Amino acid sequence: MKRSVSILIAVLATGGIALGQGMSPADVSYDEYGAVEVSLSGQPGNAEAGEKIMTTRGKGNCIACHQVDALAEYPFHGEVGPPLNGVADRYTEADLRGIVANAKMTFEGSIMPAFFKNSGYIRPGIAYTGKAAGPGDLFPILTAQEIEDVVAYLLTLKE
Amino acid sequence: MIKRALTGAVCVATLVAGAFVGMNAVADEHANLIVNGEIEMVVRTEAPEHMENVDTIYSGWVYRATETQALQMDDFDNPGMLWVDQAAEYFETAQGPEGRSCQDCHESPEALAGVRAVYPKWDEERGVVQTLENQINECATERMGLEPLKYTGSEMVNMSALLASVSRGMPINVAIDGPARETWELGKELYYQRTGQLELSCANCHEDNYGNRIRSDMLSQGQINGFPVYRLKNAKLNAVHSRFKGCVRDTRAQTYAPGSAEFVALELYLASRGNGLSVEGPSVRN
Amino acid sequence: MAENVKPRVRVPRTASAGEVITLKALISHKMESGQRKDGDGNTIPRSIINRFTCDFNGENIIDATFGGAVSTNPFMEFEAKVPESGTFLFTWYDDDGSVYEESKEIAVS
Amino acid sequence: MKITRRETLMLAMGAAAAAMIPSAASGAAIDDAIALFTGGATPGEGGVTLVAPEIAENGNTVPIEVSAPGAVAIAVFAQKNPLPDVASFKFGPLAGAQRAATRIRLSGTQDIVVVAQMADGSFVQTSQEVKVTIGGCGG
């Protein structure tokens, strides 16, 4: 928990995170259950933008694995992960942020890819090219703000 | 169908939701594959002993929609057979500096029936596990004096389709003991290794989630008994190492090269997971 | 002439006079639709089989026109009435001017 | 899950309605293509059948079969393809039936419209929606 404290201090000291910036993956602090309290971008998420990310293949592509009834206008949802209906009733904002950023911190060994991570991979490639990623080629799959947008969308999923 | 143990809750939720997102019509899970009304394929059977997490093995044919399945049930409807015909012509064509053909040594493609079923295979002389493609190139370069065929190029894929076609219906039976063991172990390690930025192993999709859909694609067990495969997606024959490459790329990982020691090892391991299924190539998949 | 174009046809060997039989025809062809773009964003020009015909002893059975939406390796299945023994002529017309032909005999009793 | 069957149905109808909006918007090209085939005549119904999968596993290769007993020609149109003309079949004197099967490409979920020209010069049409699946991998 040392790191989260120091980030908090940094945030307080600089009067918050500047617009358009955000944490880098190494700065994210997960609690012992994998939750992340602080907004990664320092800005609120936009649920509408989140919906777009959830349904775009090169982005979150969440419906590739999860059923989301509220997204029925985008046909064919996957079955690999649990349905996300009512997910906001089951998890807090911090839980959801942690799961989207790196689900393995919450569910050990989860098949779900980490969307806010850029190191610690075996044979990483440059996006979907199959070519080896050199130093500087690896970016989180979603940006800090995109994670916040997805979390904002997930928080609308109440039953 | 072929759903592995799911909790009741998840199962019900999936069914209810599935009703309105419009799910794929997948054929009857008990459907049997008989090609041309005569070649009976084993599309489901008991898993080989070495498999720890799977009881029953299924051909990828089982997971496809009825219309796709039908394309493989008659050689005329199977576009892959177009290239089997081409390879049969190549087989009897004299070429190279000495004007030799495949036929000079092997009387007919049918004389090679059964070969597909036992590859990849330990090659005593070379001291490595050889794929069928390696063996074809050994013939091309050493016996016919040709330049090696490109590993996943069309001439090679066509030839491998021809050799598969004459073994159709025979059970896959690759050896994994003796000197092939080390290669097999490497293949197994690669199968379970989570690579790329999506940190996915072969097993994550094809052992833990077969019978589940990603978007509308139903995940198969990743069996390779049907290769080369005519895919509706790209409307051509696909070599098994090309398919490996595509899958690895989709995990945002650096791929291995077709014909590399790693892909040969993975092929041996995957083939061994299908020991007992029928040789189906050229098969039809989506 | 486009590369590697190879036709396959299926015709029953025999039939009785006046019988209706099913014919199938398949040809390897990329059927480039004219709708795709290459890596530089330029439209790949259309290159398809635009017409397919089948005749029997000089009389027409079917005359098909294909657009860019007919699948790669175009497949056709249709029915013919055969009054007598003779020859089916299958003809594919390529955008590039090539014409591919295949013929098959049938014995009618 | 607390969705009742009734709610599920309503959701389904909502989804169908949403799916119809772009269809209506891009209907002009197919109308023109059909008018070209019919010479402007409005097709009637009945007498022509289309067999196509409800859900196509891959939009690149969708098997279809059309038939219209007594027709001289049958034309196939895809409502949302960039070019709606898919194929047309003219039947000669030795046609054993006015039936043809082929495999076509669909750019996405849409209606296939089949119009037959009968021997008396009239036209009939039928249509069916084919849902085209969407793959899961991101690449």
- List of chains touching C (3+ CB pairs within 8 A): B, D
Catalytic residues of B, by residue number, are 247
- For chain B, give me the number of helices (H) and strands (E)? 10, 11
Contacts of D102 in chain B (CB under 8 A): none
Task: Indicate if B159 and B177 belong to the same structural domain.
Answer: no
C1 in a structural domain: no
pLDDT tens track for D64-109: 999 999 999 999 999 999 999 999 999 999 999 999 999 999 999 9
Query: Chain C residue with minimal CA distance to D78?
Result: C69
Residue B139 sits in a domain of what CATH number?
1.10.760.10
C92 in a structural domain: yes
Q: Name the helix (H) or strand (E) containing B189.
A: helix B181-192
Q: Regarding the domain with residue range D5-132, which homologous superfamily does it belong to in the CATH classification?
A: SoxY domain (2.60.40.2470)
Closest CA to A26 of A44, A4, A42: A4
Query: How far is it, in rounded angstroms, from Cα D78 to Cα D109?
Result: 10
Q: Do A76 and B13 touch (CB under 8 A)?
A: no
pLDDT at C22 over 60: yes
Structure tokens that stand for B212 in this block: 């589940």
Query: How far is it, in rounded angstroms, from Cα A68 to Cα B18?
Result: 10
Query: Chain B residue with minimal CA distance to A112?
Result: B198
Final residue in a domain of this structure, among B121, B145, B165: B165
Relative to beta strand C59-66, strand D55-56 is unpaired
Query: Chain B residue with minimal CA distance to D11?
Result: B20
Contact C29, C49 (CB under 8 A): yes
pLDDT at D14 over 80: no
Residues 45-64 of D with CB under 8 A from C: 60-62
Contact C5, C94 (CB under 8 A): yes
Final residue in a domain of this structure, among B104, B136, B165: B165
The interface pTM score, or ipTM, of the predicted complex is 0.86
pLDDT tens track for C32-57: 999 899 989 999 999 999 999 999 99
DSSP class of B217: E
Please indicate if any CB of chain D lies within 8 Å of the CB of A108. no
pLDDT at C63 over 90: yes
Q: Give burial (CB, 10 Å; 0-12/13-18/19+) of C102.
A: middle
Q: Provide the 10 A C-beta neighbour count for residue B21.
A: 23
Please indicate if any CB of chain C lies within 8 Å of the CB of B37. no
pLDDT tens track for B237-257: 999 999 999 999 999 999 999
Please indicate if any CB of chain B lies within 8 Å of the CB of C73. yes
Q: Do C28 and B77 touch (CB under 8 A)?
A: no
DSSP class of A64: G
pLDDT at D31 over 80: yes
Full 3-state SS string of chain C: CCCCCCEEEECCCEECCCEEEEEEEEECCCCECCCCECCCCCECCCECEEEEEEEECCEEEEEEEECCCECCCCEEEEEEEECCCEEEEEEEEECCCCEEEEEEEEEEC
Query: pLDDT higher for B25 or D49?
Result: D49
Please indicate if any CB of chain A lies within 8 Å of the CB of D16. no
**C61: distance to nearest CA of chain D, Å?**
4
pLDDT tens track for A61-110: 999 999 999 999 999 999 999 999 999 999 999 999 999 999 999 999 99
Structure tokens that stand for A72 in this block: 């029925």
Query: How far is it, in rounded angstroms, from Cα C6 to Cα B250?
Result: 33
Strand (E) positions, chain B? 34-35, 39-40, 44-46, 56-58, 121-123, 128-130, 213-214, 217-218, 229-231, 236-238, 283-285
Per-residue pLDDT at B27: 53
B4 in a structural domain: no
Query: How far is it, in rounded angstroms, from Cα D87 to Cα D112?
Result: 11
Contacts of C55 in chain D (CB under 8 A): 92, 94
pLDDT at D47 over 90: yes
Task: Indicate if B175 and B276 belong to the same structural domain.
Answer: yes
Contacts of D69 in chain C (CB under 8 A): none
Q: Do B213 and A80 touch (CB under 8 A)?
A: yes
Chain B interface mutation, best of A65, A77, A87, A142, highest count of B Cβ atoms under 10 Å: A77
Q: Do B86 and C10 touch (CB under 8 A)?
A: no
Query: Chain B residue with minimal CA distance to D1?
Result: B13
Contacts of B82 in chain C (CB under 8 A): 6, 8, 26, 28, 73
Please report, for residues B202, C64, D74, the alpha-carbon distance to residue D100 in angstroms, rounded to integers and kept in the order given: 42, 9, 9
Query: Chains A/D: 3 or more C-beta pairs closer than 8 A?
Result: yes
Angle between helices B181-192 and B261-273 (to 10 degrees): 90
C108 in a structural domain: no
Relative to beta strand C14-15, strand C99-108 is parallel
Please indicate if any CB of chain A lies within 8 Å of the CB of D18. yes
Chain D interface mutation, best of A51, A55, A57, highest count of D Cβ atoms under 10 Å: A57
C70 in a structural domain: yes
B54 in a structural domain: yes
Task: Indicate if B19 and B60 belong to the same structural domain.
Answer: yes
Q: Do D63 and B67 touch (CB under 8 A)?
A: yes
Contacts of A76 in chain D (CB under 8 A): 133-134
Report CA torsion sign: A136, A142, A144, A146.
Answer: positive
CATH architecture classification, A2-154: Orthogonal Bundle (1.10)
Residue C77 sits in a domain of what CATH number?
2.60.40.10
Please indicate if any CB of chain B lies within 8 Å of the CB of D134. yes
Query: How far is it, in rounded angstroms, from Cα A83 to Cα A60?
Result: 15
Query: How far is it, in rounded angstroms, from Cα C89 to Cα C61?
Result: 10
Query: How far is it, in rounded angstroms, from Cα A82 to Cα A147?
Result: 19
**B149: distance to nearest CA of chain D, Å?**
29
For chain B, residues with pLDDT lower than 50 are: 1-25
Domain residues for the domain of C83 are 6-32+47-103
Query: How far is it, in rounded angstroms, from Cα A111 to Cα A33?
Result: 17
B29 in a structural domain: yes
pLDDT tens track for A10-66: 444 343 344 456 899 999 999 999 999 999 999 999 999 999 999 999 899 999 999
Contacts of B235 in chain C (CB under 8 A): 71-73
pLDDT tens track for B123-135: 999 999 999 999 9
Provide DSSP, A117-129. --SS-SSBBSTTS
Task: Indicate if B105 and B233 belong to the same structural domain.
Answer: no
Per-residue pLDDT at B19: 34
| CB nearest to B235's CB, from C8, C10, C71 | C71
Query: Chain D residue with minimal CA distance to C50?
Result: D87
* Beta-carbon contacts of residue B2 (< 8 Å; ≥ 6 apart): B29, B58, B62, B63, B210, B211
Per-residue pLDDT at A135: 79
Please indicate if any CB of chain A lies within 8 Å of the CB of D137. yes
The count of C-alpha atoms lying within 13 angstroms of the C-alpha of A108, restricted to the half-sphere facing its C-beta, is 2
**C57: distance to nearest CA of chain B, Å?**
24
Closest CA to B225 of B167, B286, B177, B265: B167
Per-residue pLDDT at C5: 83
In chain C the first and final C-alpha atoms are separated, in Å, by 39
Number of domains making up chain B: 2
pLDDT at A124 over 50: yes
Per-residue pLDDT at B10: 35
pLDDT tens track for B92-118: 999 999 999 999 999 999 999 999 999
Final residue in a domain of this structure, among B165, B188, B214: B165
Query: How far is it, in rounded angstroms, from Cα A60 to Cα A99?
Result: 13
Task: Indicate if B130 and B106 belong to the same structural domain.
Answer: yes
Per-residue pLDDT at D17: 39
B70 in a structural domain: yes
Please indicate if any CB of chain C lies within 8 Å of the CB of D41. no
Domain residues for the domain of B201 are 9-77+171-285
